[in-house]
A and B are shown apart, each in its own frame.
Chain A
Amino acid sequence: MNPYKILNINKHSTKRDIIQAAALAMRERKYDVREVAAAQKELIDPISGAAHEFLQFIDLKPLQDQLDLTRSETQTLSSLEYLSCFEKDS
């Protein structure tokens, strides 16, 4: 179960956001009432909420920040000249 998906909220949602999202989800009836209630309960509890936040989201920025995206000097297309070294092969 992904409670964030059921309630259609992001990981920065407050307790108030969670409750409001649960009410909305119950009106929309996209998910079963029990599922919505369970999702709300899971996210409001600080321990299971933290566990779900860990499970449902990935943060790859720290990995990306370690990478060097500086471009190196490149040649221009016009510098490409036809080579005749293969003509003698054929």
Chain B
Amino acid sequence: MKKKPQNSDSILAKAEKFFNRGNYPLAKREFEKANRIAVQDDITEKIKICVREIEQLKAKDLVKKARKYAKKSKLREALRCFEQAYGISGVDWIRERIGQLKGELSGRDSLEAARQAEASGEYEKAAGLYGYGTQKGKDTRFKMAHCLVRAGRYDDAVSAFKDLTLSDHLAMYDYGFALAKVGKYHQCLDSWGSIESDDSAFLKQRASVRSLLAADLYDRFEHSEDFAGIYKEGLSIVDSAGDCGIGDLVEYCKYAWIDQLWKEEQYETIRGLLLPFPSEMEANLLTLYAKTFFKLAEISGEHLSDLIMFWLTTVYNPEISGKFSARPEERDNVRRALILKAEDLLKKYADVGDKSSKTALACWNVEKKLVEDLHALAGDREVLSCLVCSPQFAVRFGKSRQIIQLIRDNRSFFTDLEHYLLTGGYYSSAGPSLFYLENRQYDKALAGLPMSGSYDAGESEFVDYCVERVRFACGLHCLEEGEGLPGQYFETAVNLFNKTSKYEQELIDKAIDSHEPDKLRLYEDVLSELHSRRPTKGINDALSLVMSRRAIMMYNMRQMNPKVLNTTIRKALKLNPENEFARGLLGHVKINVEIEELNHALDRHKMGKACRIAATSENEEVRDVFFEFMERSLKELDGYDMDSPEKAFFLRELYKWCADVDESHPILDQIYNASQIAGLKVR
């Protein structure tokens, strides 16, 4: 069918329709048709708009394509598309992207070139190529730094590595090598310290750098006073690789630095340099430790126990005290003055301080006496005088065994067995428990006692004594507090009492001073147990007293009947017939028992028994009770309306009972008179 010719209006309508829908290619075609029929300005304008829009669409397509290429790393193709798109649209961002792509393309090229240069050993060139461009990745920067090292540009290499985090051995080695080459041996060893390698060449090279550092430290030592720096760097080598020929230099610089710090009053830093304690302590070093801890104690109460440990040992050290004065008597005075200074410090803290300061002072007092004794024991014997030290010092520096032997060898020096055992005890492995005891820390004292068999045979007599002392003190503490099971702690008390009776007396005194029934019961149990194994007069008498005292307390609280009371008092008197307290009690107890029995019989109308008790009692009070009862009964009889035979019977009975007890008692006349009035006959 032949196509129907279109007129200008229908063409334009069609063109507008396409135009409005955004279909610019078809709109353009229709507008051009219309324009061919009749040229119109507005149609020409719309054709231009269509052409522009068609170009924009083309540019969009090109950008889309370019992005796809870029995603697939086809940078050249992407660049071509972006360039075409930019040629159409002239948009700024496309221009920038073109710049980036060109940079990346050039970087890729230079990276490749760098790899080739590195592979062929042209490190200088490779370093330059790796460094090309501004946006370098981490990997590229490592490669550049590596090539700088290989090219011998060590300063640049050090700068390049500075901001990188080194994670692999090659980078650590490269950085260290560059540092060594620029004379920074210590930092080199730091970097190499993280490399775990058994490679013999590397180990040898590391030793060489240590040797270079040692030489460098010696140079610095000769030309500067940076003792702190030399010490710190040297110490890190000595700690990681042993002496390396600089051990003495490091030690020397430590002392030189301490000397500077002392002048600056930096005692805490000095303490840090002096720790940990060495295994042996010669006189010059001992003095330094003592003075440092004295200075620290002047500042705070934190290091009082260290002061105690070093101070007494130092001032009694013959080598040190010999320098106090040329005259021996003056030397002793200086020593006393120095002891007093430390003691004043400790007292100052104890007066205002916490429990630990008071504990420190208590320890000081004990240690002072012990060291004085050892000093006196050693006398002028030079070999022995080096053993004069505090127990804490002896433990720390391994002198305890020698001191124990010294004490054992000089038993006659001590005033008595207690003095001997106590001194040895403090220096024995049970010594810490005695210190706890001094501060009334009973649980710690018990816990600190050495296990049987864990100590030397040579110290066993001292350890045994300590065990006995601690257990006795714990038992006594339980008794005083009225708690726990004190008996378990007194199992070894007899051994202790056999060594020194003062502890027996202590227990006796405390028992006698006790006035609470519960505590008296505990004391009675303990004394009774001890009495069975050690029946001394002291324990015997104390047990007798405690027993009678507790019995009367129980009786008064109605927790014991007169019979048990009587038995207990008699038992107490059997133990100690001279127990005046029990004897005094016994008389009262007897009357009370008889009166109670009498009342019991009267209540139950057992008149025969009542008469017998009253008649046989040695106490008038008992008879008084009997006759008071009879008088009451006589009066009560008056009030009753009883038939004469019954009344006569009762009066006769009364008369008979009273006469059985006391034939001359006035009540008999009263009964007789009463019977006469009633016309009865009682006799």
Contact = CB atoms under 8 A, between A and B. Distances in A.
Interface string A44-84: 00111011001100111011100111011011010110110
Of the four ranges (under 10, 10 to 19, 20 to 34, 35 or more), the interface on chain B belongs to 35 or more
B90 interface: no
Contacts of B325: 46, 50
Given A60-B284, A90-B170, A72 B324 contact: no
A48 B339 CA distance: 12
A82 B507 CA distance: 83
Nearest to A79: B208
B173 interface: yes
A62 B197 CA distance: 42
A44 B248 CA distance: 40
A85 B201 contact: yes
Contacts of A63: 255, 284-285, 288
A28 interface: no
B525 to A, nearest CB: 55
A55 B291 contact: yes
A22 B325 CA distance: 24
Contacts of A83: 173, 177, 199, 201-202, 205
Given A67-B252, A90-B168, A60 B288 contact: yes
B32 to A, nearest CB: 67
A73 B330 CA distance: 51
Nearest to B320: A54
Nearest to A45: B337
Contact of A58 (B183, B249, B259, B334): B259
Given A58-B291, A60-B284, A77-B183, A85 B199 contact: yes
A67 B246 CA distance: 10
A80 B177 contact: yes
Find the residue from A55, A58, A62, A71 having the highest chain B CB count within 10 A.
A58
Interface in B185-226: 195, 197, 199, 201-202, 205, 208-209, 211-212, 214-215, 218, 221
A80 B215 contact: no
B18 interface: no
A69 B212 CA distance: 16
A67 B170 contact: no
Contacts, number: 111
B284 A47 contact: no
Given A58-B259, A86-B169, A64 B252 contact: yes
Contacts of B284: 59-60, 62-63
Contact of B258 (A58, A89, A90): A58
A51 B294 contact: no
A86 B166 CA distance: 14
A57 to B, nearest CB: 8
Nearest to B245: A72
A51 B255 CA distance: 23
Nearest to B248: A67
B333 interface: yes
Nearest to B295: A55
A77 B178 CA distance: 12
B205 A69 contact: no
Contacts of B248: 67-69
B438 interface: no
Given A47-B333, A72-B214, A80-B180, A90 B169 contact: yes
B202 A74 contact: no
A89 B338 contact: no
Nearest to B259: A60
B341 interface: yes
B278 to A, nearest CB: 11
A51 B334 contact: yes
Nearest to B200: A85
B251 interface: yes
A55 B265 CA distance: 13
B288 A58 contact: yes
A47 B338 CA distance: 10
A74 B337 contact: no
A55 B288 CA distance: 10
Nearest to A42: B337
Contact of B211 (A74, A86, A89): A74
B156 to A, nearest CB: 15
A3 to B, nearest CB: 13
Contact of B215 (A55, A67, A74, A89): A74
B65 interface: no
Contact of B338 (A55, A60, A68, A87): A55
A59 B283 CA distance: 12
A74 B212 CA distance: 6
Contacts of A64: 252, 255-256
A67 B338 contact: no
A77 B212 contact: yes
A74 B181 contact: no
14 contacts: A47-B330, A47-B334, A50-B334, A50-B337, A54-B334, A59-B284, A60-B256, A63-B284, A69-B252, A72-B214, A74-B211, A77-B181, A85-B202, A86-B202
Interface of B: 149-150, 168-171, 173-174, 177, 180-181, 183, 195, 197, 199, 201-202, 205, 208-209, 211-212, 214-215, 218, 221, 245, 248-249, 251-252, 255-256, 258-259, 262, 284-285, 287-288, 291, 294, 323-325, 330, 333-334, 337-338, 341
4 closest A-B pairs by CB: A72-B245, A74-B215, A67-B248, A90-B170
Interface of A: 46-48, 50-51, 54-55, 58-60, 62-64, 67-69, 71-72, 74-75, 77, 79-80, 82-83, 85-87, 89-90
Given A50-B330, A71-B218, A86-B173, 12 more contacts: A51-B338, A54-B291, A54-B324, A58-B258, A58-B291, A62-B284, A63-B255, A63-B284, A68-B248, A71-B214, A75-B212, A90-B168
